[in-house]
Amino acid sequence: MANAPMKDSTEPKKNGTILVIDDDRAILDTFRTLLEREGHEVDVAENGAEAIDKSQKKYYDLAVIDVKLPDMEGTQLLSNLRSNFPRTKKIVITGYPALENAAMAVNLRADAYIVKPVKPQEFLKIVKEKLQEHDEEENVTEEKVMDWVETRYLKAKQKSTGQTQKRQPSKP
């Protein structure tokens, strides 16, 4: 499993870091413009290999994946990203709606499935929903980690206090 770059917790929270993967340059430019206007940080990739390379160098909150890519099926890329970057939300988008593609996307646990053409407001609504889900899951995970650390600290403190008390000589 590839190691995802760590997020810098000192950075202020942006709306989201998004990777858009599509072989159609006009769609990439349109989605980038829409998303950047909403305050998102957006990178684009024209094929699966480029998307994998970028995702290994930078953490993305969300990936928008076209089903038809020149070097691999979008479902292959979805599977790769799901395995290597499970916290990244994934939206599959296609201009070739087919039951097989939809079923494959669902089976590979895509977080959403969109058919092109999509209205800009509908696209932005889905992106917003998935980023909110991502943030909620991230917050829950951070809370669980903090609870675990706090519990371990308290147990270690109790243990060391108990050991210190055992070392004190008993009074006659």
- β-pairing, 62-66 vs 89-94, is parallel
Q: Are residues 58 and 5 in contact, defined by beta-carbon separation less than 8 angstroms?
A: yes
Domains plus CATH for the chain?
Answer: 17-137 (3.40.50.2300)
Q: State both tokens at 140.
A: 């829950």
The pTM score is: 0.73
Query: Which tokens belong to 55?
Result: 């995702």
**Residue 8 has what pLDDT?**
42
pLDDT at residue 44, as a whole number: 98
pLDDT digits (tens, 9 = 90+) for 149-166: 878 778 787 877 765 445
Contact 90, 81 (CB under 8 A): yes
At 3 the pLDDT is 47
pLDDT band at 14 (very low <50, low <70, confident <90, very high): low
Which one has a higher pLDDT value, 88 or 149? 88
Integer CA distances (angstroms), 73 to 32, 45, 47, 52, 84, in order: 22, 14, 9, 13, 17
